[in-house]
Chain A
Amino acid sequence: MDKKVILEVKNLVKKFNDFTAINDISFEIKEGEILGFLGPNGAGKSTSIYCILGLIVSDSGQINIFGKDVIKNRSEIFKEVNYASADFYLPWNLSVWENLYVYAKLYEVPEAKKRINELLDIFEMTHLKDKATRDLSTGLRARASLCKALLNKPRLLLLDEPMASMDPDVVDKGINLLKRIQKEEGITVLYTSHNMWEIEEIANQVIFINHGKIIARGTPLELTQNVLKLEGEEPNLRDVFIHLSRGTDEL
């Protein structure tokens, strides 16, 4: 049976004056998939995510989530969507618990306290719930952001470099936790990162974007084989990234 399309981006174009940030990109993510969204700095990844979130209005094209137009049905759709980025932590003066409670109210999470405690437990942060967010380490702040991102049991999760600037041990733990929760709750994920190991670990499918255009797509192994013309059985997205960032050949 065909899986449902959760996110559908069709012919998206966004220009800022003369600069084309997104140049006619189209892709979709099916239920339960994890799509790695790769590209060098300034390639258009974050702009695409902001368009999906409705925080930037595109010049043309359409974005449907759960089959509905994002611009017209924002509040209804975003009850079941969430977002996290290592660039944006939760308000610093509030404790971890207070932050999660405010966001639980924003997302109208039923049995908010129970869900918060459940997530704090999963992310091993229960003992830190009364600490101010500013007093947490970078890794713990990112974990708190992930707790926030999972509060509403989202059907679609947008993660924009959620593990950036974390040490490999924290990234490894974070990825394993995410994989576990994603599997348990059947979440569909759009995941951007500059750490290719993260993408190899987590993504079923990968899209590579450069200068606002999708220039390659496939599974991590397919990309490795097609871009690097290799026949091995191990994905090597690091070399794929370097190759695609330096050249512009569309595959």
Chain B
Amino acid sequence: MCSFIYRGGQMNFNRVFAIILRHIFTTMHQLERFFDVIISPVLVLILWGFLSTYVQSIQSQTFAAFLLGGMILWVVFEKVSTDIGVNFMFEIWDRNVINLFASPITFLEFITGLLAISFIKIMIALTSMWLMAGIFYNFQITSLGFGLALLWVNLFIFAVAFGIFNVSLILRYGHSIGPLTWILPFFIQPFAAVFYPISILPPIFQKIAFVIPISHVFEGMRFAFKTGQFDYNNFWAALILNAIYLTASLAFFGYTLRNALRSGRLVKLI
């Protein structure tokens, strides 16, 4: 089974590119996939942009930055984590699973292709949101400087761990679980302290928040907006938690794939 997952650690980037190409072609033919990349984040930005403008007018500029910055970074996590599962679902909807995995591709190459396409999409979404926020709300998320990249790295890693977990759920329970995987990120949102600090949560929820990597990312973002400094404590906390979640997610994926190959569930996904 190991050779199915990673083929002795070797990665063939031609096959990764093939997966990217497959989704670029799909997006070109299905405009709703393109809208999902640009229109949805922009609509969310418009909503939160007006809210932030209002908050700014009645309270403080920093709080408005918390809201808008929180929303932009949340979109990174939400889109990447769901996109990986949705792109896997495309292979099932297209009855392409057997043809795809009858080819020399390994699961590692396939997942890397899905991550790459999610990365491309989120860069497009981020750029459109960054431009919109700058032009219409005079909000520069890039004012966080290099720290933004570090925050983004932690968000992306957790989104990847979450996305791989979603793919594992689909492998285990089939395509009927798909819609659940799209809303799973919102189960985390209340504890992720996206728009408010962890300290305002009830003690039991604070404990949950502390073990969610992205709550540290949002804490770090607020710290940076407030002080202009980068919060290394929260950065490392998020990175260590991410390492644990990514390892757990990959282990769960390996376990579900092994079971899917033994039980014949992979070929029934079609």
* A interface residues, Cβ below 8 angstroms from B: 16, 46-47, 50, 53-57, 71-79, 81-85, 87-95, 98, 101-103, 105-108, 132, 145, 148, 158
Contact check, B261 vs A93: say whether CB atoms are below 8 A apart.
Answer: no
B98 and A88 within 8 A (CB): yes
Q: Is the CB of B101 within 8 A of A103?
A: no
Beyond A50-B267, A56-B266, A93-B26, whether A107 also contacts B104 by CB under 8 A is: yes
Q: What are the residues of chain B within 8 A of A102 when measuring CB–CB?
A: 18, 21-22, 25
A107 contacts across to B, CB distance below 8 A:
103-104
Q: B86-119, CB under 8 A of A: which get 1 and which 0?
A: 0000100011101111111110000000000000
Count of chain A to chain B residue pairs whose CB atoms are closer than 8 Å in the complex: 116
When distances are taken between beta carbons in the complex, the residues of chain B under 8 Å from A56 are: 261-262, 264, 266-267
| Seed contacts A50-B267, A75-B104, A106-B104; 12 additional CB < 8 Å A-B pairs | A16-B264, A53-B102, A55-B101, A76-B7, A79-B104, A83-B99, A98-B25, A105-B18, A106-B15, A108-B14, A108-B15, A145-B99
- In the complex, what's the smallest C-beta–C-beta distance from B30 to chain A, in angstroms? 6
15 chain-A/chain-B pairs, Cβ below 8 angstroms: A50-B264, A55-B267, A57-B1, A75-B12, A75-B104, A77-B104, A87-B98, A87-B270, A92-B94, A94-B22, A102-B21, A103-B99, A107-B103, A148-B99, A158-B102
User: With the chains together, A75 CA to B12 CA distance in Å?
Assistant: 10
CA gap between A57 and B3 in the complex, in Å: 12
In the complex formed, the residue of A with least CB distance to B91 is A91
Known A-B contacts A74-B7, A88-B270, A106-B18; A55 and B102 likewise in contact (beta carbons under 8 Å): yes
Cα A53 to Cα B12 in complex, Å, equals: 19
Interface size of B by CB at 8 A reads 36
Shortest Cβ distance from residue B5 to the other chain A in the assembled complex, whole angstroms: 10
Interface string of B162-195 (1 = CB under 8 A from A): 0000000000000000000000000000000000
B227 lies within 8 A of chain A by Cβ = no
Indicate if the CB atoms of B25 and A94 lie closer than 8 Å: yes
Q: Which of B228-268 contact A (CB under 8 A)?
A: 258, 261-264, 266-267
A85 touches B98 (CB 8 A): yes
B152 at the interface (CB under 8 A from A): no
Interface flag for B196 (CB, 8 Å): no
Q: B13-38 CB contact bits vs A (8 Å, 1 = yes)?
A: 01101100110011001100000000
**Does any Cβ of A come within 8 Å of B4's Cβ?**
yes
A87 close to B95 (CB less than 8 A) = yes
Q: A71-B3, A72-B3, A74-B104 are in contact. Are A55 and B98 (CB under 8 A)?
A: yes
**Which chain B residues lie closer than 8 Å to A95 at the CB level?**
25
Q: Quick check: A90 and B96 within 8 Å, CB to CB?
A: yes
- Provide the bound-state CA to CA distance between A158 and B15, in Å: 21
In the docked arrangement, what's the CA distance between A101 and B264, Å? Answer: 29
List residues of chain A with CB within 8 A of the CB of B94. 90-93
Would you give the shortest CB distance from A197 to chain B, in whole angstroms?
Answer: 26
Q: How far is the CB of B260 from chain A (nearest CB, A)?
A: 9
Cβ–Cβ contact A91 & B18, under 8 A: no
Q: With A and B bound together, what is the CA distance between A91 and B100 in angstroms?
A: 10
Q: Which residues of A contact B90 (CB under 8 A)?
A: 91
Note all chain B residues with C-beta closer than 8 A to A79: 104
